[in-house]
Amino acid sequence: MSETQTLWWASESFWKKMAVWITAGSAVVLIFLTFDTVNQITAGGKRVPPYSVINNRIDYVFDEKRNYQVPVIGPEEPLFGKVLNEAEAMALVSRGKLTTQAKNCMNCHTLLGNGAYYAPDLTKSWLDPMWGSKETREETMVAFLMDPTDKLHNTIGRRMPNLGITEEEARATVAFLKWMSAIDTNGFPGNFPTIDQSDPAPAPESVSAPTETPAL
Amino acid sequence: MAALGTLDSANLNGGQKLAVKFFTVAIALFGAQVLFGMLAGIQYLNPDFLFGVLDFSVNRMLHINAMVVWLLFGFIGAVYWLLEDESGTPVAGLGLGNLMFWVFTLAVVVVVLVYLLVQVGPGELKSIWLINEGREYIEAPRWADIGIVVCVLIFFYNVAATFMKGRFTGIGGVLVLDLVALAGLYLAGMWYTPNISMDQHWWWWVIHLWVEATWEVLVGCLLAYGLVKTMGVRRRIVETWLYIEVALLFGSGILGLGHHYFWIGTPEYWLAIGGFFSALEPIPLVAMVVHAVFDAGHHKLKSSNNPALAWMIAQAFGNFFGAGVWGFMHTLPQINLYTHGTQWTASHGHLAFFGAYATIVIAFVYLAVQKWRGNVWMSGDMAGGWKWKWAIFLLHAGMIGMTMALLVTGYEQSQVERAIGGSSWIAYFEAQAHVWFVQGMNWRMVSGWMFATGFVLLAWDLMTIGKRETRPARSVEVPAAAMA
């Protein structure tokens, strides 16, 4: 029995060439886009803040034009009351990131939505209303990280184990979380309710003695 | 030569002797995956279970790492299995390949022991080098990464040198080029940066471009060989299909990478590129279903190895539904904003990894035990043939049950936690406490037990199928002229 002649679009040689060209073409486009993406997501680039952003208030506010929430860098509000330069901030955030890796956070939590689904997403956890007030937030977070097991979590009995996080690691982790909350994530997570970070309204007596009030 | 029906390595060629070692470890690790998955599943229902001893994070890490490694062992085994047959010459550097097997296996044992006994380390680089990298799927510490690269290079040398020494078939050519990409991509995940956006950007080069591109092509090669072997499908047909699959898989999968770049800080243009190309990703999987089902029908389901054929057909459908349909359901950014990082992903992940990858490895293990016992009869009317049928049924019923249950919890979570609650701590736990979530997790557990039962039956069947069988395998060889 003789082979019938194969149509060109069903032939082996046509699809072999297609496989090579399509793969090569896609790879070239990907590499081209990768250069631009890496440029934009370098710390201090268009999408990812410099590490020293932890010296400022960070908020997550609805943007009319983009139609979702975007990070907004506010006035100076240094973490643990200490202003850091870029190198110091990077070292602190890096220590925090290493802590999240060494403690395997990602196999319960999600970070930027990636990880496991046994515990809340940490992308904007710095801004979570669960931390109470912005005045006590930093210390509450540190205390929680260092000894979470007996603290309030939820009504279903799921708890975070004690991972032996030192105070230094806990502070660094908080720095990492604060920095991460300033990444432009295209509105993920959507509709996130943020902790109240507004400055308290000035009390009436504080404005009564203008001569003693230092200029802002 | 030993009598039909007895396990005898004299029945195997050099590459196949090595392959069955890889398969043995693969099936053992499959068991470990099931075990740690069950423990993690129980913890969803009873959070105090093993709390502080084997926490969820440890069980979950072992669950997904055992999966990655058993599938890799299965793929490597499958390639050694077909290598001499396909190239027409003994494996080049087989001794090195054997050494690599033992080194790789020993490394896996050490990594698992450290995961179990040390679990976490201080927040320093040395923890990442020695204990755990803390990055999903590629948690293996850096020393093991380097070991994996060395092992994969040896494996690559075996494969490339063998094909170069013998004949370079279409399957061989695709396989060699695919392995270059597979090994090269692993390097993208092997460095530390404090910048989590950068970290996840490159991390996806490994995870996505493995799982949704190079692994799929590897499976395409294995499926092509399997169809030729079990049914005598003509080589020109499977190789033409293989090229179509490569064109469509890489054409959609490479830029489909963009669907992981929606929310990690990467630029907005990925919403459009990732959405568009990942929406095309099911197309090659449809092609694979058409191809496998058409060939099976054309050959009137007459195969030399019924269990292997059944698992290959299961692969075609499992890949299409698990990776294709379940992936497509939440790949568009407008939906993914609410489903990303919920149990939707778990639902998709379970069906996709099982459907696309576990199935094909199991098919190859069935091919292996058949030949290992002297190429015995494995078509209809086998003694104890109920075992493989019940195993495939229970594993599928369990997997579909888990997938559906997780999908229900995923819907609920997207709605209650994401859309309404906005993903805060309170919203997260509101969704976790919701009755639909809890019910879903209970059904997942029931299905998990079903799956585990199926696994035990599968392992038992693999050890016993063909034992004392006296009939030789059904011949499906096609005339040499048609092989051209």
A67 lies in the same domain as A36: no
B185 and B251 part of one domain: yes
Q: CA Rg, chain B, in Å?
A: 22
Q: Which residues pair with A71 in a beta bridge?
A: A60
B294 and B234 in one domain?
Answer: yes
> Tens digits of per-residue pLDDT, B98-146?
999 999 999 999 999 999 999 999 999 999 999 999 999 999 999 999 9
Residue B178: predicted pLDDT:
95
Say how far apart CA B407 and CA B325 lie, in whole Å.
13
Looking at the domain assignment, is residue B21 inside a domain? yes
Cα(B305)–Cα(B367) distance, rounded to whole angstroms? 7
CA distances from B463 to A59, B54, B205, B385, B460 (A): 60, 31, 38, 13, 5
Pairing of strands A56-63, A68-76: antiparallel
For B343, the token pair is 């149990």
Q: What pLDDT is stored for residue B477 in this prediction?
A: 66
My answer on whether B321 and B180 are in the same domain is yes
Name beta bridge partners: B376. Answer: B472
Q: Quick check: is A3 in a domain?
A: no
- Quick check: helix, strand or coil at residue A68? strand
Supply the DSSP symbol for B188: G
B323 and B179 share one domain: yes
Alpha-carbon gap, residue B360 to B216, rounded angstroms = 11
- Indicate yes or no: CB of B263 within 8 angstroms of CB of A108: no
Residues B63-75 have a mean pLDDT of: 97
- Listed by number, the residues of chain A in 44-63 with a beta carbon closer than 8 Å to a beta carbon of chain B are 46-48, 51
What is the average pLDDT score of chain B? 94
Q: Which residues of B touch A5 (CB under 8 A)?
A: none
Q: Identify the residue among B174, B331, B424, B483 best suited for mutation to test binding to A, counting A beta carbons within 10 A and taking the highest.
A: B424
What are the helix (H) ranges across chain A?
12-41, 86-102, 137-146, 167-180
Are B421 and B430 within 8 A, CB to CB? yes
Residue B93 domain-assigned? yes
Domain's final residue, options B341, B360, B379: B341
Asked if B317 contacts A93 with a C-beta cutoff of 8 angstroms, the reply is no
Q: Which amino acid would we find at residue B444?
A: R
| CA-based nearest residue in chain A for residue B409 | A117
- Counting residues of chain B whose pLDDT is more than 70, the rounded percentage is 98
Residue B387 within a domain: no
Nearest residue to B315 (alpha-carbon basis) of B234, B376, B230: B230
Mean pLDDT computed over B324-345: 96
Based on the fold, state whether residues A91 and A37 are members of the same structural domain: no
Contact status, residue B185 vs residue B231, Cβ threshold 8 Å? no
Contact B162, B14 (CB under 8 A): no
Q: Which residues of A touch B51 (CB under 8 A)?
A: 159, 161
Quote the mean pLDDT of chain A. Answer: 92
- Answer yes or no: pTM beyond 0.90: yes
Among B133, B163, B193, give the residue marking a domain's end: B163
A195 close to B (CB below 8 A): no
Whether residues B215 and B106 share a domain: the answer is no
DSSP codes, B387-439: HHHHHHHHHHHHHHHHHHHHHHHHHHHIIIIIIITTT-HHHHHHHHHSHHHHH
The number of folded domains in chain A is 2
- Residue A204 pLDDT class (50, 70, 90 cuts): low
* pLDDT on residue B26: 98
A188 min Cα distance to partner chain B (Å): 6
Instruction: Spell out which residues of chain A touch residue B198, defining contact as CB-CB under 8 Å.
Output: 38, 41-43, 48
Does the structure show a pLDDT above 50 at A209? no
In a domain, B305, yes or no: yes
Q: Look at the block and give the residue holding tokens 């930093």.
A: A138
What pLDDT sits at residue B416?
97
Contact B341 A23 (CB under 8 A): no
Percent with pLDDT over 70 in chain A: 91
List chain B residues with CB under 8 Å of A164: 120, 122
pLDDT at B168 over 50: yes
Decide if A98 and B58 are in contact by the 8 Å CB cutoff.
no
In a domain, A208, yes or no: no
Range of the domain at B114: 16-163
A18 in contact with B at a CB cutoff of 8 Å?
yes
**Is pLDDT at B51 greater than 90 in this prediction?**
yes
Same domain, yes or no, for A23 and A67? no
Say if residue B131 is in the same domain as residue B234: no
Whole-angstrom CA distances from B324 to A26, B62, B215 are: 20, 26, 14
The stretch A129-139 carries a mean pLDDT of: 95
Asked if A188 is an interface residue toward chain B (Cβ–Cβ < 8 A), one would say yes
- Mean pLDDT in residue range B249-268: 97
Q: What was the pLDDT predicted at A210? A: 45
Q: Are residues B159 and B213 in the same domain?
A: no
Q: Do A99 and A160 lie in a common domain?
A: yes
Block residue for tokens 């299995």 = B81
Same domain, B299 and B210: yes
Cβ-proximal residues to B29 (8 Å cutoff; 6+ apart), any chain: B66, B69, B70, B73, B108
B401 assigned to some structural domain: no
Q: What's the pLDDT score for residue B118?
A: 96
Q: How many other C-beta atoms can be found within 10 angstroms of the C-beta atom of residue B336?
A: 25
Report yes or no on B444 lying in a domain. no
Asked if residue A135 and residue A36 are part of one domain, the reply reads no
* HSE (side-chain half, CA atoms, 13 Å) at B119: 17
Q: How far is B127 from chain A (nearest CA, A)?
A: 6
Lowest mean pLDDT among B34-38, B206-210, B398-402: B206-210
In a domain, B422, yes or no: no
Is residue A63 assigned to a domain? yes
Write down the residue that tokens 């297609």 correspond to.
A18
Residues A39 and A113 reside in one and the same domain: no
Q: Using DSSP, how many helices (H) and how many strands (E) does chain A show?
A: 4, 4
Residue at B453 is within a domain: no
Q: Which of A12, A119, A163 sits opposite B120 (nearest CB)?
A: A163
A19 at interface of B, judged by CB pairs closer than 8 A? yes
Asked if the structure places residue A73 within a domain, the reply is yes
Rounded CA-CA distance B176/B171 in Å is 9
| The pLDDT value given to residue A216 | 45
Give yes or no: residues A113 and A68 share one domain: yes
Kindly state whether residues B155 and B212 are assigned to the same domain.
no
So what's the pLDDT on residue A165?
98
Place of tokens 């063909």: B466
Is B239's CB within 8 Å of A12's CB?
yes
Mean pLDDT of B351-360: 97
Instruction: Tell whether A174 and A84 lie within a shared domain.
Output: yes
Domain extent at residue A81: 51-180
Residue A79's CATH number: 1.10.760.10
| pLDDT given at position A199 | 83
Same domain, B123 and B174: no
Same domain as A163, residue A86:
yes
Position B478 scores a pLDDT of 57
Q: What is the mean pLDDT of residues B76-93?
A: 97
Q: How far apart are the first and last CA of chain A?
A: 95
Token pair listed for A24: 């090569």
Quick check: ipTM above 0.90? yes
- Do B295 and B175 share a domain, yes or no? yes
For residue B446, count other CB atoms closer than 10 A to its CB.
13
Please identify, among B311, B326, B341, the residue that sits at the C-terminal boundary of a domain: B341
pLDDT-derived band at B481, boundaries 50, 70, 90: very low
Contacts of B413 in chain A (CB under 8 A): 117
When pLDDT is averaged across residues B61-76 and rounded to a whole number, the result is 97
CA distance A107 to A98: 15
Burial (0-12, 13-18, 19+ Cβ within 10 Å), B60? buried
pLDDT on residue A201: 72
What is the C-alpha separation between B294 and B233, in angstroms, rounded?
10
| Omega prior to A189 cis, within 30 of 0 | yes
3-state secondary structure of A58: strand
Over residues B443-457, the mean pLDDT reads 98
Q: Are residues A43 and A90 in the same domain?
A: no
> What pLDDT is attached to residue A211?
45
Question: Which residues, 6 or more positions from B284, have their beta carbon under 8 angstroms from its beta carbon?
Answer: B216, B244, B245, B248, B249, B252
Domain count, chain B: 2
**Residue A6 reports pLDDT greater than 90:** no
Q: Are residue A22 and residue A63 in the same domain, yes or no?
A: no
- A25 and A120 housed in the same domain: no
Q: Is the Cα torsion angle B387, B393, B396, B398 positive or negative in sign?
A: negative
Q: How far apart are CA B41 and CA B43, in angstroms?
A: 5
In a domain, A124, yes or no: yes
B181 pLDDT higher than 80: yes
Interface of A with B in 64-123 (CB under 8 A): 90, 93-108, 110-121, 123
- Do residues B179 and B306 both lie within one domain? yes
Query: What pLDDT does residue B291 have?
Result: 87
Q: What is the CATH number of the domain that holds B291?
A: 1.20.210.10
Do strands A114-115 and A110-111 pair parallel, antiparallel, or not at all (unpaired)? antiparallel
* Chain-chain contact of B61 with A184 (C-beta, under 8 angstroms): no
pLDDT at A214 over 50: no
Which residue of chain B has the CA closest to A11? B240
- Nearest-Cα distance to chain B for A210, in Å, is 42
